[in-house]
Chain A
Amino acid sequence: MKHKPETRLFFLDPPEVFKIRYFLYFEKKISMDNTTEIEEEAMLPDIASMLTTCVSERGNLIPILQMIQERHHYLSPGALQMVAKHLEISSSEVYGVATFYNQFRFYPPGKHQIKVCLGTACHVKGGDIILENFERKLEIKAGETTPDREFSIDRVACVGCCALAPVAIVDDTVNGHMAPSKVEGLILGFDIEKEREKREARQGESKE
């Protein structure tokens, strides 16, 4: 099931949005609490102040969207509406442009972003097997985020280190010559790290 949850919510009224979010929770696609809404709400004043520095010109649309995404990692429905208002064009237009390009995402990414290269060289050397391994291990599909917002998986077309194929980028580190066992190793590494953090936090508490 290919979910890009937030993309759908854009045209709907708030009650509808709530219903769908609730549904997605039961589908284990997003977490139940309304952290996403609160976060998105908090973004808006910042986006508003960013927009004041931009000339209201149609040609600025893509640079503005890029700027917002760079700062907040994704484009929330509210942000898109704000951009539309600023440029005095309909929000469907903004949405149409934003969804046309691969760069823009409409839902929060995970804490650890995993990008699997599916360029030609990586395909020939089995990049899709690597992607499948990540998907199976994390129980999400490419383009999704785990419910606990720890990981997200994306497919990218050629990161330009074809000699290292197959390649996966995890948090800006390029991992060359990937193999299914390396996938397990990487995720195990993150799990151990998280355990350690938890343990240290617990120890810190008990000392106090």
Chain B
Amino acid sequence: MNQKSKEKSKELFASIKVDAERRFREMQGDRSQNIFIGMATCGLASGAADVKAAFEEALLQEGISARIIPVGCLGHCYAEPLVIIDRPGFPPILYHDVTPGKAKLLVKAFLEEDDPVFEHVLGAMEENDLIPWIMQFPRFNQEKRVVMAGSGLLDPEDIYQYIAKGGYSALVKALTLEPEEIIHEIQDSGLRGRGGAGFLTDVKWQLVRDAKEKDKIVICNADEGDPGAYMDRTILESNPHQVIEGIAISAYAVGAEKAIVYVRAEYPLAVKTTATALEQAREIGLLGSGILGTDFDFDIAIFQGSGAFVCGEETALIQSIEGKRGMPQPRPPYPAQRGLWGRPTVVNNVKTLASIPPILNNGAQWYRGIGTDRSPGTAIFSVVGNVVHAGLVEIPMGVTLRTLIFEICGGIPNKRNFKAVQIGGPSGGCLPESFLDTPIDFDSLTQAGAMMGSGGMVVMDEDACMVDVARYFLDFTQKESCGKCTFCRIGTRHLLDILERITRGEGREGDIELLEDLSLDIKGGSLCGLGKTAPNPVLTTIQYFRDEYEAHIRERRCPAMMCRTLTAYYIDLDKCARGCDACVGSCPTESIFTTKNRKKGIDQTLCVKCGECVASCPPEYDAVRKVSPPELAPKIERPQEG
């Protein structure tokens, strides 16, 4: 590109930016009050829509003018719905667990009577004398937000907010550079693909750049199939423009004119925000023909994936876009050589692409400064399960699991003890307490037997049975196996059968060895990542929790008392008040009965072990007990009817 057109594109963008900043200032004007409500899927699930309606109603009633701005997700799922109120004279204040009732209270107390209602405050978004700054809490200050920097603070459906906060400046910068220079910059930054395997991004790009064929394609992989990870969805719902900017830069670098965002149809809100964002970017000339007055023509389309876990694999994803069954293909040829419709194709994860704009803006050295030497940058985890502050966490690579789980996420609730953490979804593994000091990066996790994978992280306390967890993941991969490779198709079926047998208490001697053998065969005999990693949950649980498998097989006992055929409930008659009948009323299958002298018994043939009687028994009695093996439960005869 010649010097003249470079200057021209800079000028064009400068005028767009001025416009954006003007709009942003208007929004933040001296007298205006803004209420930001987190309205991504997680917020909506917690009732953000009702909260918004309550705010609107209360504002109307009190006659106060304030702007309600729906924003994305801050990642603090434990405290949803989150609301930030920004008004003159106060720092922006973050409120947690806002209900419609609290919303009305806030309007009356805070907006009308200047009382910030301290008991509902989570923190202030800026440093101040009045309210503790959120950055003083470990849940916030240990995080390093690169990809999620704008999430929860910007309106995802307003491109000007993103531009006013510095968005799309990386694209403008990229357009003034030669494509090779951009790839070089990415190489210097050491960015590794965030899809799970950690392949170097610049190598992928260079391969496509060097390919001689025309009509190259960039695919943004947002087919997040792991049943416990939702960061890609949150990024697209909260700040789609950062992803779009990353896609545009990668397309310019590799010489593509077309890109496809492959997003799951199960994420309707993510599809909607992305579509709106693309529309807005097209309107102001950041997409389409001749972007910002240059000769770079480029556009992005959305393809809705139909829900197949295996389509997260790049060759399967390409098959799926071509309208076929999403079955992985042998590599080589790699998609970079012959991908979608036979053209050179870059497939990058949402997080990888969203990392590009910050890298170009701040330079490769800045990015290298975050994280570890071999895994620079940040990692996003969805930390869920038995943990106090569940949600999305973006941390620099190299932070230990202990810091993440106990400091940032607040540890295990209800005074229980930590047992294991499952990392990387169905492809990952379970790590026990002895691995808590493992730093989180691509290589350390793989060495420990888990993997970065999707970024799902499920924390489990003593009540989780590791055999059952392995069974759960196998059940998932077995259903999702595309059926192409025999070892994956039939091998996982057999793994699952054996695991189900063990959890039913019908395990045999030699089952553990059989599981191990079969796992190694499946790993060796499968084409794609799904089969190669499917046995990981089994192998790691056997490696670290072999005694639990042995207890199931030899003693017909589930140490965690989770496998339902191996446990039974009974009512401790020494503790039972006998007069209260709360358990009898709560039982959905009417399996609890009372004898003539008011003894309570459970009919084990009817009991479904739902635990409802445990919840309903008043805490002062706490009389419902769980035992394994079930034979230990005392037997009480049910009185004859009539």
Contacts and interface: CB of A to CB of B under 8 A. Distances in A.
Interface of A: 57-63, 65-66, 96-97, 100-104, 118-121, 123-126, 129, 132-133, 136-137, 156-165, 167, 174, 176, 179-181, 183-184
B610 interface: yes
A104 B306 contact: yes
Contact of B266 (A156, A180, A181): A156
B472 A66 contact: no
Given A120-B456, A157-B227, A163-B78, A179 B588 contact: no
Contact of B45 (A100, A103, A164): A164
Contact of A102 (B78, B306, B469, B609): B306
Listed residue (A124, A137, A161, A184) with the most chain B CB atoms within 10 angstroms of its CB? A124
A124 B325 CA distance: 32
A94 B384 CA distance: 38
Please name the 4 residue pairs, one residue from A and one from B, whose CB atoms are nearest each other, closest first: A120-B228, A101-B306, A160-B230, A162-B384
B265 A103 contact: yes
B124 interface: no
Interface in B413-472: 422, 425, 456, 458, 460, 464, 469, 472
Nearest to B324: A97
A60 B323 contact: yes
A16 B615 CA distance: 51
Interface of B: 41-42, 44-46, 77-78, 80, 225-230, 233-234, 265-267, 303-304, 306-309, 320-326, 341, 382, 384-386, 390-391, 422, 425, 456, 458, 460, 464, 469, 472-473, 476, 482, 586, 588-589, 608-612, 615-616
A129 B610 contact: yes
A58 B323 contact: yes
A162 B309 CA distance: 18
A159 B45 contact: yes
Contact of B323 (A97, A124, A125, A136): A97
Nearest to A94: B323
Given A59-B323, A160-B41, 19 more contacts: A57-B323, A58-B322, A58-B323, A62-B303, A62-B306, A63-B304, A97-B325, A101-B326, A121-B390, A123-B472, A124-B469, A126-B611, A129-B609, A161-B41, A162-B230, A163-B390, A164-B45, A180-B588, A184-B588
A105 to B, nearest CB: 11
Nearest to A99: B325
Nearest to B473: A120
Given A102-B308, A181-B612, A119 B228 contact: yes
Listed residue (B44, B227, B303, B307) with the most chain A CB atoms within 10 angstroms of its CB? B227
B384 A120 contact: yes
Contacts of B303: 62-63
Contacts, number: 145
Contact of A120 (B78, B472, B608, B611): B472
A44 B472 CA distance: 41
B181 to A, nearest CB: 34
A130 B321 CA distance: 35
B45 A118 contact: no
13 contacts: A59-B322, A60-B323, A65-B306, A102-B308, A121-B228, A124-B386, A129-B611, A157-B225, A157-B227, A160-B234, A160-B267, A164-B45, A179-B615
A165 B387 CA distance: 12
A125 B384 CA distance: 11
A133 B306 contact: no
Listed residue (A162, A165, A167) with the most chain B CB atoms within 10 angstroms of its CB? A162
B413 to A, nearest CB: 11
A162 B41 contact: no
Contact of A181 (B77, B80, B391, B586): B586
B82 to A, nearest CB: 12
A164 B46 contact: yes
B271 to A, nearest CB: 11
B611 A165 contact: no
A203 B300 CA distance: 57
Contact of A158 (B228, B322, B326): B228
B80 A163 contact: yes
Contacts of A65: 306
Nearest to B463: A124
Contacts of B385: 120-121, 124-125, 162
A66 B304 CA distance: 9
Contacts of A120: 226-228, 384-385, 422, 425, 456, 458, 472-473
Contacts of B476: 157
Contacts of A129: 608-611
B228 A133 contact: no
A100 B390 contact: no
B390 A162 contact: yes
Contacts of A132: 608, 610
A101 B303 CA distance: 14
Contacts of B306: 62, 65-66, 101-104
Given A129-B608, A180-B612, A167 B45 contact: yes
